[in-house]
Chains A and B, each alone.
Chain A
Amino acid sequence: MPEDLEKIRKRVLAEGSLKEGGKRVRITVHLGTCGIAAGGDAVYEALKHEIASSGRDDIEVLVSGCAGMCSSEPNITVKIINEDAVLYRDVNAKKMRKIFEGHVMNGEIQTSHALARIKQSDQEGEDHYA
């Protein structure tokens, strides 16, 4: 059984990581109760709509729990392959569309809505992952 755990771990790490030819972008919507109360569901819907109308199939959407800073909710994290992830704050449907268009489609970090960048090395590690 522990071998199975190890197998699952390796498989998920292999499948889950972004790669060329597979998923290249991962967008995490932080939907704890606090995120939902701040309007996170509308952000999530807007994101799904944007992805569908962009026609891209290399974008993965992840729903997770609270990122920690509840007063900056709704939060999303945009991770593009081989780049630092960016945590955005106070997102709404309109800002979500702007971030999608600017950052995901054109690679320009939307600095006015960004809270922090997460170094590549930290993203799969233990500490400071938002």
Chain B
Amino acid sequence: MPDKPPKAEKKENRTKKKVVPYLEDVPFFSHQKLIVLKNKGIDPESIDAYVARDGYRAAAKALIDMTPEGIVSEMKVSGLRGRGGAGFPTGTKWEFAQKAKGEIKYVLCNADEGDPGAFMDRSVLEADPHAVIEGMIIAARAIGAAQGYIYCRAEYPLAIKRLNIAISQARDYGLLGKDIFGTCFDFDLEIYQGAGAFVCGEETALMHSIEGKRGMPRPRPPFPAQQGLWKRPTVLNNVETYANVARIIFKGGKWYSGIGTETSKGTKVFALTGDVKNIGLVEVPMGTTLRTIIFDVGGGIPKKRKFKAVQLGGPSGGCVPEAYLDTPVDYESIAKVGAIMGSGGMIVMDEHTCMVDMARFFMDFIQDESCGKCTPCREGTMRMLQILEKITKGRGEPGDIDLLEELSEVIKDGALCGLGQTGPNPVLSTLQYFRDEYEAHIYEKRCPAKRCAALLKFEVDEEKCISCGLCKKRCPVGAIEWEKKEPAFIDTHKCIKCMTCITNCPSDAIF
């Protein structure tokens, strides 16, 4: 064959040394700016390793050189907003708790990360537990708390192990306990393990859980800053928020506010998952566009497929379609396109994702995790799930979309806590951008993404079939007939609609 290179040349090509790029030339790393994740290469079980990276110097500065008011004002200057999702200004929250009357106050850390596809807090706790502890010491000093709790889900055993080691090391060094740095300031920490209820990530439910009560939310006000844990003034922040605090106190609020956009300062850690080449934990400055995160950092969509949407903020969030990929990540811009910043879960979906099925998945999750205390959430999410299941099974009726929208509004307005108030968001945002897919399911009994098995015929398009035989090889029940150079045929009596052939077909020929 004339096209084939001569043997010697081929061999030379093969042995030619690949040049290993520098980290800053690899797009996955080059767009990142590390503040929260800056210590990810150190030994997380060694307090000395943390101290060598300027660890606990911010705590020393806060306790010895700064007044509680000074700490709060530095936090306000920084512009840091809560990284758990809602984005409340951290300095303002601390100020409320500081000014609240009471001898006993508490500092809590929310490490009950429950959104499907989110693993930011776990990675921070596993890689750099001391940063969270230091942030909590500074918060305790700012509001005058002597006791703190880290509420961590029991599903994170390694994070809990490393946190326990870190807490006992900090006690040994006198960084937790009595008279820290000789300033007569006392503060100690305990870990409280959550038992797996998603709603316990909601602040009032979390506090009930620590009090030993059933993890259910209560109406606000009173807000935790006035009446929190055991009715005492309490500050609750999430893991990533605390991991920012020490850097802000050490380098100054002004330094921090120089990063990011006008309303959203600093960086945000995202757990980038789904149909994207590079899955991982990425920390980018606020204001980076979704396109940069997905296509530069994430390397784009694998298998030469097309991007369809990105889901932000888990079950409380929404999805952003291709038209809005140039939206910068900051709290306001993301909200404008119908999603939320959330805690950082970022699930990328390609053209083979059915948006109705995706909404059904999140509604299934919310319905399962609804605590049952308030009627709109308990009953409403159940009804919404039933309608979505009906639509994906091919029994959708005219009027279903209107009913979904009406139920969504009622649940949003009437639910007691954030879980219910934001629960309908995945449905509403898919209805906003992918209404045609709902309509195809209901009126044409067709799933455009070919994910809803009940709406597929399991027939082969002979023009599209490339006669590769992959479907026959993978079919678990032997329902496919195929000969070399012939198109495949599916025996629908034998077929169990397991989707294996459709997922494996390279030419998209089965419908």
List A residues at the B interface (Cβ < 8 Å).
1-2, 5, 8-9, 11-13, 16, 28, 30, 32-34, 36, 62-72, 77, 84, 86-87, 109, 111-112, 114-119, 122, 126-130
A127 touches B51 (CB 8 A): no
A118 touches B22 (CB 8 A): yes
A130 touches B52 (CB 8 A): no
Whether B33 is near chain A, meaning CB under 8 Å from some CB there, is yes
Q: List 15 A-B contacts (CB under 8 A).
A: A5-B51, A12-B52, A13-B52, A33-B122, A34-B119, A63-B45, A65-B123, A66-B123, A68-B32, A68-B40, A70-B281, A109-B20, A122-B23, A126-B34, A127-B34
| Inter-chain contacts of B506 with A (CB < 8 A) | none
Q: Lowest 4 A-B CB distances belong to which pairs?
A: A65-B127, A71-B279, A12-B52, A69-B280
Whether B38 is near chain A, meaning CB under 8 Å from some CB there, is yes
| Inter-chain contacts of A13 with B (CB < 8 A) | 52
A66 touches B281 (CB 8 A): yes
- Grouping DSSP codes into helix (H, G, I), strand (E, B) and loop, the B interface class, with mixed when no group exceeds half, is loop
Instruction: A47 to B17: give the CA distance in the assembly, Å.
Output: 25
CB distance from B208 to the nearest CB of A (A): 28
Whether B221 is near chain A, meaning CB under 8 Å from some CB there, is no
| Inter-chain contacts of B180 with A (CB < 8 A) | 1
| Inter-chain contacts of A87 with B (CB < 8 A) | 23
A116 touches B22 (CB 8 A): yes
Whether B64 is near chain A, meaning CB under 8 Å from some CB there, is yes
Instruction: A65 to B281: give the CA distance in the assembly, Å.
Output: 12
B22 touches A117 (CB 8 A): yes
Instruction: Give the number of residue pairs across the A-B interface with Cβ within 8 Å.
Output: 141
Whether B150 is near chain A, meaning CB under 8 Å from some CB there, is no
Whether B24 is near chain A, meaning CB under 8 Å from some CB there, is yes
Given contacts A16-B52, A70-B279, A126-B34, contact A119 B22 (CB under 8 A): yes
Whether B331 is near chain A, meaning CB under 8 Å from some CB there, is no
A5 touches B60 (CB 8 A): yes
Instruction: A10 to B390: give the CA distance in the assembly, Å.
Output: 65
* CB < 8 Å neighbour of B158 from A36, A62, A119: A36
* CB < 8 Å neighbour of A65 from B64, B128, B174: B128
Number of B residues with CB within 8 Å of any CB on chain A: 52
Instruction: A13 to B49: give the CA distance in the assembly, Å.
Output: 9
CB distance from B169 to the nearest CB of A (A): 12
* CB < 8 Å neighbour of B52 from A9, A69, A77, A129: A9
| Inter-chain contacts of A11 with B (CB < 8 A) | 48
Whether B335 is near chain A, meaning CB under 8 Å from some CB there, is no
B278 touches A111 (CB 8 A): no
| Inter-chain contacts of A69 with B (CB < 8 A) | 28, 278-280
B22 touches A5 (CB 8 A): no
Instruction: A55 to B23: give the CA distance in the assembly, Å.
Output: 32
* CB < 8 Å neighbour of B23 from A33, A34, A64, A116: A116
* CB < 8 Å neighbour of B34 from A9, A34, A128: A128
| Inter-chain contacts of B34 with A (CB < 8 A) | 126-129
| Inter-chain contacts of A36 with B (CB < 8 A) | 158
12 extra A-B contacts, CB within 8 A, seeds A32-B123, A64-B41, A68-B40: A2-B57, A8-B48, A28-B41, A32-B127, A33-B156, A33-B158, A68-B32, A69-B279, A71-B278, A87-B23, A116-B21, A128-B34
A70 touches B280 (CB 8 A): yes
CB distance from B210 to the nearest CB of A (A): 24
Q: Which chain B residue lies CB-closest to A64?
A: B41
Instruction: A119 to B21: give the CA distance in the assembly, Å.
Output: 10
A130 touches B40 (CB 8 A): yes
